[in-house]
Chain A
Amino acid sequence: MSEFNAPTIAWPYPTNYGKENEVTADVIILGGGIAGCHAAVHAARRGAKVVVVDKGPVIRSGSGGAGVDHWHAACTNPCSKVTPEDMMEIVRVFGDYSYHEYGNGITCYIQCKESYDALLDVEKMGVKVRDVDDEFAGADFRDEKTKLMFAYDYVNRTCIRVNGGAHIKVALYNELKRLGVQIFDRIMVTRLLTEGGKQGTRLVGATGFDVRTGEFYVFNAKAAILSMSVFAGQWVFSTELTGFGSIFNDPNNSGDGTAMAWIAGAELALMERSGRGLASGFFRYPPYGTGDHNNTWFACTIVDANGKEVPYVDREGIVLKTVSERYRPAPGQKYFMYGRMGPQAIWGPGLIPDLSERIAKGEYALPLYADLPGMPELERRAIWGLMIYNEGKCSIIYENYCKAGFDPDKDMLQLPVMPPEQYGRGPAWETYGPRQWREGAFGGGGGIVFDWDLKSNVEGLYVAGSQQYSGGTHAHAAATGRYAGRKAAGHAKDAKLGQIDRKQVAEEKMRIYAPVMRRDGIGWKELRAGLCRVMQDYCGEFKSEPILKTGLQWIRSIRESEAPTVFARNPHELCRVMECFTHMTIGEIIMQASLARKASSALLDFKRLDFPEMDPPEWNKIVTIRQENNNVRVGELPMRYWLLPPYAPNYEENYRKHSEL
């Protein structure tokens, strides 16, 4: 039987490939996730006519659509003892929790300043946020006056636990509708349109198609916000569990925004960053669906198979005697963030750092268990009931496990059995993946370069959320989203609507619909898996010029051979096919960025066999790439460019000048 399998049942949606729909707006927001929705709210509040476009349904789309438990860097909340400037002093960058030099201070500071305001926004939209039902009255982590609940450091209180975070996206969606924002669900945006159809000229709009009906869309706008998040699934793909492979990222996050920005001439940074990040979901367990002590499960008591407790220690390695000490900074420590990451100044409590060795020696017997029954009642209820429910994809964990009889008052959820050296390296449900190379976790990887206006180098194009290079968490998306919304609305006020180049549109239409006219050829899954193979081989842990150039030859060759034969039997498949084309472009970008950085870097998990010296001082800079007349142009930015001319040398002044508040 041919792969095509002669279809007989008609697609259930009214299909009309190529039918054109034209939409005009002041601001188009490409990507309706958390960043895009907060951007839409704030652009609309400033009087702009706003359109939001999303590949999925905005009511639940995006990584934050499935829920959120932690609201980070809410430094301006009334209980916080850490100011935004304090946080920038030690943390400096937020990125993906690595707190390393290659993060971005602009968005870190914006998050510190506006994260709490964004939370107040969603509270007004109907999300409870506080312990309004007094379920946790008297708890160590609850402020009696404000009823805010805190996570991690209960003394310094910068991270808020979100009551009702499970349905935050629904509240945002309803607010968008209330504000009269025009929402286009299930439209895959495929190309940015530029003045005269040229690369590098100002943005005039975008094209897309409906993933259910196949209809074509042309958007014409004075300004655009790109908020399509990270590129994910670039190295690792399962043909049978394509959705499950993605943990934190919505599987729709293919990197479409980054690819189309590159084609339009935008400058990108950090695309060479990749690493042994969180393993793929299909190799382990559902996120948070096993016993753990990290993140959502912090700081659950862990016991071994014989009930022996695994000690927690502070940043110095001193064993903590009580549960409440796990939520306090060490003597002499100003505050802690989370875990043993970044500068030791902000390390928090964790399990004994030599747990792996002691398991291997037989001191602690596997399997380990999360001893929820052994936790104080309110801490137990906070973990299983507040955090496991509201965190993304956890409402179903809570419901299914409770329905199956799991009772946190009586039961200890098992941690996965792993080789001893894996313990303590990250979330228990993910750390036993096969050793595969993949994109940087949590958005701390490559993306679009931006300035203090969250503007890219393409006129009229703004960037928010994890679409930015070195993006971050839910609160980061919310904070940068609302900021970009204000800025784009301001831009649109003074801008003139650009003219769509019909030739650019016609070319794009031909490109998009070619696969639906084919009756045989390669399926999208085979193409996708093949591209991942190219990434694993030619853009994996160890790189060199000949390796990377061979990789580029492979992608070029796939563009000539397999790509022109890929078929789509319905608009949904067409979307998957177009995602393959995005992955080809992303692969090329990553390889070009890797060629441009002629030095290895421990900070970026970047290893070049032909330039083995780690982080030589002359390469401590941000390497950028962009296209000019379809030629790759390598550029650079100094570290902390955001505090160098033309900007002010401190965060407060830059924020005052640019934030429009």
Chain B
Amino acid sequence: MVEKAYLVSNPSSACKAILFDADLCTCCLNCVEVCRTDVLIPNPEKDKPPMVLYPDECWFCGSCVAHCPVPGAIRMEHPLSQKAGWKRKATGEFFRIGMKNPPPPNTKPPVC
């Protein structure tokens, strides 16, 4: 095998919390500006999405996602240990957040 091994510390947190789609992100920095705990910082490299500097400090409030002008550019994800599951009433089928082959998305908008 040609894969190399790297000298790295453990990550600071059990989860990534915030993820970006680099192709969609316009680097507007709205997410950086609304985060209450400065989890995100402008990327030191130009034209790259914000850096998730403190994923351990994320409160999972979703303000970053709420203020992003480009759908899909930013995602907030709870860690695996916090992912919930449900049962389809009619069939008894098991589903959960983050499963392989999830059911089709529910696109009904919220009341707000």
- Residues of A bordering B, CB below 8 Å: 1, 5, 9-10, 12-13, 56-57, 59-62, 65-66, 128, 133, 135, 163-167, 186, 211-212, 239-244, 246, 250-252, 284-286, 289-291, 307, 369, 371, 373-374, 381, 385-386, 389-390, 392-393, 395-396, 398-407, 410-414, 572
Contact = CB atoms under 8 A, between A and B. Distances in A.
Q: Which 7 A-B pairs have the closest CB atoms?
A: A396-B62, A405-B103, A389-B110, A56-B36, A66-B61, A402-B106, A243-B59
B38 to A, nearest CB: 5
B106 A166 contact: no
Contact of B63 (A66, A405, A407): A66
Given A66-B59, A285-B82, A291-B86, 10 more contacts: A57-B34, A211-B38, A212-B38, A243-B39, A286-B60, A385-B108, A395-B66, A405-B104, A411-B89, A412-B88
Contacts of A414: 84-87
A369 B58 CA distance: 29
A286 B98 contact: no
B52 interface: no
Contact of B42 (A12, A56, A60, A62): A12
Contacts of A401: 84, 97
B14 to A, nearest CB: 5
Nearest to B98: A404
B41 interface: yes
B1 interface: no
Contacts of A389: 110-112
A243 B57 contact: yes
Contacts of B13: 240-241
Interface of B: 9, 12-15, 33-39, 41-42, 44, 54, 56-63, 65-67, 76-79, 82, 84-90, 95-99, 102-108, 110-112
Given A211-B38, A389-B112, A405-B104, A412 B82 contact: no
B38 A128 contact: no
Q: Interface SS of chain A: helix, strand, loop or mixed?
A: loop
Contacts of A371: 89
Nearest to A389: B110
A399 B106 contact: no
A167 B56 contact: no
Most buried by B among A243, A371, A381: A243
Contacts of B39: 243
23 contacts: A13-B41, A57-B33, A60-B35, A62-B36, A66-B62, A212-B38, A241-B15, A244-B59, A244-B60, A251-B57, A307-B89, A371-B89, A385-B108, A392-B61, A395-B62, A404-B98, A404-B103, A404-B105, A406-B95, A411-B89, A412-B89, A414-B86, A572-B38
A385 B111 contact: yes
Contacts of A166: 66, 110, 112
Contacts of A392: 61
Tell me whether chain B's interface is mostly helix, strand or loop, or mixed: loop
B60 A396 contact: yes
Nearest to B10: A240
A44 B98 CA distance: 48
Contacts of A212: 38
A284 B67 CA distance: 27
A12 B44 contact: yes
Nearest to A372: B89
A412 B103 CA distance: 14
A60 B38 contact: no
B102 A405 contact: yes
Contacts of B112: 128, 163-167, 389-390, 395
Contacts of A244: 58-60, 82
Given A246-B59, A385-B111, A386-B110, A405 B105 contact: yes
A212 B40 CA distance: 12
A289 B59 CA distance: 14
Contact of B56 (A12, A62, A241): A241
A367 to B, nearest CB: 9
Contacts of B56: 239-243
A285 B84 contact: yes
B86 A402 contact: no
B77 to A, nearest CB: 7
Contacts of B35: 56-57, 60
A252 B63 CA distance: 15
Contacts of A164: 112
A326 to B, nearest CB: 20
Contacts of B99: 404
Given A56-B37, A240-B12, A412 B86 contact: yes
B33 A250 contact: no
B86 A250 contact: no
Given A395-B110, A402-B105, A405-B103, A413 B60 contact: no
Contact of B76 (A5, A250, A400, A410): A400
Contacts of B88: 410-412
A589 B51 CA distance: 38
Nearest to B51: A12
B111 A289 contact: no
A399 B62 contact: yes
B36 A411 contact: no
Given A289-B82, A392-B61, A411-B87, A398 B38 contact: no
B14 A241 contact: yes
B57 A242 contact: yes
A338 B16 CA distance: 37
A374 B56 CA distance: 38
A59 B89 contact: no
A65 B82 contact: no
Contacts of A400: 76-78, 97
A392 B58 CA distance: 15
A407 B85 CA distance: 12
A430 to B, nearest CB: 12
B89 A393 contact: no
Contacts of B34: 57, 59-60
Contacts of A289: 78, 82, 84
Given A167-B66, A410-B89, A385 B110 contact: yes
Nearest to A305: B87
Contacts of B105: 402-405
